[in-house]
Amino acid sequence: MHTLIRGSLLLCCLLPATGALADNGTILNLSASAQRELANDEVTASLYIQDRQAQPALLADRLNKALARARAESAAFKQVEFSSGSYNSWPDYGRDGKIQGWQGRAQIRLKSSDFTASAELVARLQKFMLLENVQFGVADRSRRLAEDQLIPEAIAALQAQAAAAGKALGRNRQQVLELSIGNVQAPPPQPMLRAKAMLADAQAAEVTAPDWQPGNSQVQLSVTGRIELQ
């Protein structure tokens, strides 16, 4: 786990000796950030079935049965969250412009922090569905824990900037007037695998569970503040 701290001095100005700043205090508008590399601890995957039938009722029946089978397969994996995705159907036109059949596509989504269970479930579902994409990222709980650690680091970086500016100006005392703390920002999960659209086979052979390498993500928390130097 690595932590990077960054900051920037946005504005420095002298205020007149009036009111609360009768001693000609200097106001600094500063920003700083702290970054940390976290291991990706959550995987999301989407799978789909696409089919073509002569009648829309037959198509809907095929898609619905595939979804029901996927839901039943997923029920045995309590560690994996199952949800329905997009469901679409459309007419298939011939060269004469007339409808010659119907096509449809139904999608499911999986999310889990258990990579082994997710990989095994995906392998089972690939017997009758196609894998659209797999993404790895940092779970919300992990981001919140990182935020608790990054807040003091980012504030310390902000104060270090003020101290450096104060030393240059001959002002050693600092007082925080305003402070704004941003949320931990993480890049969106990156797709690790994507399949080309094609019709699903009626039955596939056994599929080996994928050996996933989830990798790491950079998360960042930023702070901005107004600090008075005296």
pLDDT of residue 12: 39
Sequence ranges of the domains in the chain: 3-39+141-185+221-229, 42-137+189-217
83-92, 189-198, 206-215: which range is least confident on average? 189-198
Instruction: Give the model confidence (pLDDT) of 8-60 as tens digits.
Output: 444 333 333 333 444 577 898 999 999 999 999 999 999 999 999 999 999 99
108 phi and psi angles, rounded to 5 deg: -130, 160
Extract the tokens encoding 185.
């920002």
Q: Please provide the CATH number assigned to the domain covering 42-137+189-217.
A: 3.30.70
**Is the model more confident about 229 or about 197?**
229
Instruction: Give the model confidence (pLDDT) of 113-123 as tens digits.
Output: 999 999 999 99
Q: For a pLDDT cut of 70, what percent of the chain falls above it? A: 80
Predicted confidence (pLDDT) at residue 90 exceeds the cutoff of 90? yes
pLDDT of residue 21: 43
Instruction: Give the model confidence (pLDDT) of 130-164 as tens digits.
Output: 999 999 999 989 988 998 999 999 999 999 999 99
pLDDT category of residue 194 using cuts at 50, 70 and 90: very low
**Is the model more confident about 185 or about 104?**
104
Count Cα atoms within 13 angstroms, Cβ side, for 201.
Answer: 8
pLDDT category of residue 230 using cuts at 50, 70 and 90: confident
**Within 10 A of 178 (CB to CB), how many other CB atoms are there?**
10
